[in-house]
Structure 1
Amino acid sequence: MDLPRLHVLLVCNLGASTGIMVAKMREIAQNSKALANTDVKIDARPAGELRDYVTEYDVVLIGPQIKHLYDNLKKICDQYEKPIAIISTEDYGMVNGGNILKQALRLVLGNRS
């Protein structure tokens, strides 16, 4: 895969509830042959701090528990041309870091020009 970097920001209510998801996604990325030559960074932050951190990331994923904030968060991401999406309730609930990492990859690759 020709992707020099993949910096993913998971946004939730306080930034704490996605900690397990971040750990799982980091583990999957570290063990991925496809991402072996990619600078991968995955973090979680509170939604209220998005404007402070959005420029450091390539894609923003929102926890399903705050999907009601999507429109406001999308406006911020659009200002910086960052793709944004809501994590599915199923993947979030099952801590399916693989699917969420794939979602981030699809968004970043689809956003490249």
Structure 2
Amino acid sequence: MDLPRLHVLLVCNLGASTGIMVAKMREIAKNSQSLANTDVKIDARPAGELREYVADYDVVLIGPQIKHLYENLKKICDEHNKPIGIIDTQDYGMVNGGNILKQAIRLVLTHRP
């Protein structure tokens, strides 16, 4: 995969459950041969802090529990030309870090000029 960098920001309400997801995604990325040569960074922050951190990331994924904030968060991402997506409720509930990591990669690859 031709992806030199993948910096993912998960945005949620407070960060507790998303912290578990970050750990799972980091573990999967670390063990992924297709990401072996990619600079991977995955963090979680509260939605209210997005403006402070968005510039440091390649893609933003928001937790399904705050999908009602999508339009406001998308405006911030658009200002910084960053793709944004909503994490699938089932993937989030099952802590399916692999699917969520794939979602982040797809968003980055389809957002490229």
Could you say what secondary structure the match of 2:45 adopts?
strand
Tell me, which stretches of 5 or more residues in structure 2 are unaligned? none
**Cα deviation 1:48-104 (Å, max 9, x = unaligned):** 000000000000000000000000000000000000010010000000000000000
TM-score (norm 2): 0.99
CA distance in 2, matches of 1:57, 1:92: 20
Is the Cα–Cα contact under 8 Å of residues 6 and 58 in structure 1 kept in the other structure? Answer: yes
Is the Cα–Cα contact under 8 Å of residues 16 and 44 in structure 1 kept in the other structure? Answer: no
Q: CA deviation at 1:16?
A: 2.1
Whose helix proportion is higher, 1 or 2? 2
Could you say what secondary structure the match of 2:35 adopts?
coil
Residue in structure 1 matched with residue 92 of structure 2 by the alignment: 92
Residue in structure 1 matched with residue 19 of structure 2 by the alignment: 19
Q: How many matched pairs? A: 113
Identity across matched positions, percent: 85
TM-score (norm 1): 0.99
Letter matched to residue 83 of structure 2: P
> After the TM superposition, which segments of 4 or more aligned residues of structure 1 sit over 4 Å from their partners?
none
Residue in structure 2 matched with residue 66 of structure 1 by the alignment: 66
